[in-house]
Structure 1
């Protein structure tokens, strides 16, 4: 029995030596091992975004592809002042939408449509037509630069130096109006008094394959310019105005005809339709002739009614004669009075883009000659004639 108790005590002692007491002193832990840079590199990256970063760094960046520019359909040769076009194609190689901004470095050449319309012929491929006019034989385009913007920010750009046509010079012509075209026609010419010393001459022009913006008559006039141009460079029409001295009796100019390869000239007579401002009721000659016949008819009726009153003692005829006489007196007053408001713009022609030759500094009295839906024709105190918007006349 004693031997059994000793055996159990021995076994219990061995087990107690292997257990660690939760109440006793714990053994000292081993020091932490540092992870090397090589081991860190082997750790697989997480696919979760780092929310401490800027939002712009979270989204995937679009890889830039090469922006390719190409020109085509350039004519072999042109004359100075002849309009010509070049096709420009841009391949962005991106399936994205862009704002396209084109700039040019030019020398001796005018870019006629600096804000061209782009057509997307395929996804990411754009095309446009550029119109130019060379001012001399040494004209050049150093480069065209296309800038792509996306969401208001710069994305990419590229440049190209286009090949220009051979630019040929023209022989000298003292009346050359700086227009080179397939055709230039004068549709109508109208002359009227502008003031006591000047006439306003308006020439309605039409051109084929030309540029009326370049039209200018090489003579010294008080003022001249082109207005109200409509159409494109294949077909245009517009009004050319001249303010000339009253002693100018003829307008002469020429243009270069591309079909015949020679200059063609115009000599236009200046015939002021109505010379006396006091009787300038209407500047349309057909309507002026009508006014004459109307006046003759009214005077004849007045004479007939007076004869009826004298010989027939018809007071009804007297009343009619007085009524027609009153109308004739009222109608003989050529212009009505009006008040031009302050800061009113007086134009040469009744068109929105017409040249403004006078701006009123204060309210002033004017004579009203005629009126249409938008503009009123007036005579200023210095006898100049112009057009103002209807709302500027009281």
Structure 2
């Protein structure tokens, strides 16, 4: 009958040391909000083994961004790179405890590399600092529409490298938030909205560029577009010139038909006046009322994972402003606008 053999912690610690750890690369200084890396060098006296596992403990002022380090092997050495986010003005790296995982359930003694304090440099930003510390930060697209009588809403898409992009915050915004985000310690992307005063001509803020070692200003010109806000894949204004062209052609056909009737005295040509005028009237109709189902959401922007204004506690009857790609723009109280999905419209 097989029996399970137990080994105590004291017996494990009495085993010979098989792993040797040392720091290979540690930053000389970091900034609060910066993403940085620490590389440690591991050497094993055991040739054949499955893996080396790491446990991190006793850290202060940092956040580990990946559960597993990136590894490079050079001869007998393993170079393990860990990614951290600096969250405080005082930082102590964690204790790195490495354990060798054997091929046949062998038990080896763990080795610990004690953490060390890092030099944290304090920034002295102006009021427009956006909390972004990055190697690069770029605005890809933006769009501004009216929010209410006192405010406009700016929606923009930005990408960044080596950045905690979720930390983005604009001090000049009346209201703001994330519509979508892709976080990565290397490449990240965000769709962000900011409600600002109508008298602002530019939405401006700054970020700290790690390569240039200085604050970089960002300017988004405020050009209010009365057209609908597009989805996050296309935040630029939609071209309405085709509709205007169609209305102009319909008007021209009606005018020509009118003169033909005067000339030929055949009232059958009235159809060429009635149809174009009916089309122009249809396109130029004022907003209609729509019925929103009970329990449906009213969104700030036409994004399925976007910010929700409110949830209808009962059937709502709202004024329709526009319609784009499965979304309906509606007028809310206090001259605000919101978006509802086509499938949330009452069936009756």
Same topology, TM > 0.5: yes
Asked whether the equivalents of residues 250 and 279 of structure 2 are also in contact (C-alpha less than 8 Å), the reply is no
Distance between the aligned counterparts of 2:262 and 2:189, measured in 1?
A: 60
Please give the residue correspondences for 1:221-370 in structure 2 after superposition, counting only pairs within 5 Å: 221-230=173-182, 232-274=184-226, 280=227, 285=237, 287-333=239-285, 335-366=287-318, 367=320, 369-370=322-323
For residues 309 and 112 of structure 1, the distance between their equivalents in structure 2, rounded to whole angstroms, comes to: 80
8 Å Cα contact 1:223-1:244 kept in structure 2: yes
Q: Deviations over 1:335-366 (max 9, x none)?
A: 45432222323333333442223222222123
Matches within 5 A, 1:59-208: 59-61=4-6, 73-86=25-38, 105-109=58-62, 111=63, 113=65, 116-117=67-68, 130-141=82-93, 161-163=114-116, 165-208=118-161
Structure of higher CA gyration radius: 1
> Residues 97 and 344 from structure 1, CA distance in 2 versus in 1: closer, same or farther, beyond 3 angstroms?
farther
Map of 1:209 onto structure 2: 162
Secondary structure class of the residue paired with 2:149: coil
Match of 1:256, SS state, is strand
2:332, 2:338 within 8 Å by CA — same for their partners in 1?
A: no
Gaps of 5+ in 2: 100-106, 231-235
Structure 1 CA distance for aligned equivalents of residues 329 and 111 of structure 2: 55
SS state at 1:302 partner: helix
Contact kept, 8 Å, 1:116 with 1:129, in 2: the verdict is no
Between Structure 1 and Structure 2, how many residues are aligned? Answer: 320
Counterpart Cα distance in 1 of 2:36 and 2:316: 49
Cα offset, 1:248, TM superposition: 2.6
Change (3 A) 1:335 1:130: farther
Q: Return closer, same or farther for 1:161/1:191 CA change in 2, 3 Å cut-off.
A: farther
Give 1:162 deviation, angstroms. Answer: 3.0
Q: Aligned partners of 2:237, 2:316: CA distance in 1, in Å?
A: 31
Determine the C-alpha separation between the residues in 2 that align with 1:342 and 1:112: 44
Name the residue aligned to 2:103: none
Deviation at 1:180, TM superposition (A): 1.9
3-state SS in 2 of match to 1:204 = strand
356 and 131 in structure 1: CA distance in 2 versus 1, 3 angstrom threshold: farther
* Cα distance change, pair 285–213 in 1 and its aligned pair in 2 (3 A): closer
8 Å contact kept, 2:156–2:192: yes
How do residues 45-60 of structure 1 correspond to structure 2 at under 5 angstroms?
48=1, 58-60=3-5
User: For the structure 1 residues 222 and 281, does the alpha-carbon distance in structure 2 shift closer, same or farther, using more than 3 Å as the test?
Assistant: closer
C-alpha distance in 2, partners of 1:285/1:258? 33
* 8 Å Cα contact 1:204-1:237 kept in structure 2: yes
* Deviation (angstroms), 1:202: 0.9
CA distance in 1, matches of 2:64, 2:314: 39
Q: Which runs of 5+ in 1 are unaligned?
A: 1-47, 50-57, 148-154, 275-279
CA contact under 8 A between 2:164 and 2:183: conserved in structure 1?
no
Higher helix share: 1
Contact 1:368-1:376 at 8 Å conserved across structures: no
RMSD of equivalent CA atoms: 4.0
Q: C-alpha separation between the residues in 2 aligned to 1:357 and 1:225?
A: 12
Report the Cα distance in structure 2 between the residues aligned to 1:285 and 1:237, rounded to whole angstroms. 21
The one-character-per-residue Cα deviations of 1:25-54 (angstroms, maximum 9, x if unpaired) are xxxxxxxxxxxxxxxxxxxxxxx57xxxxx
1:192 alignment partner, SS class: strand
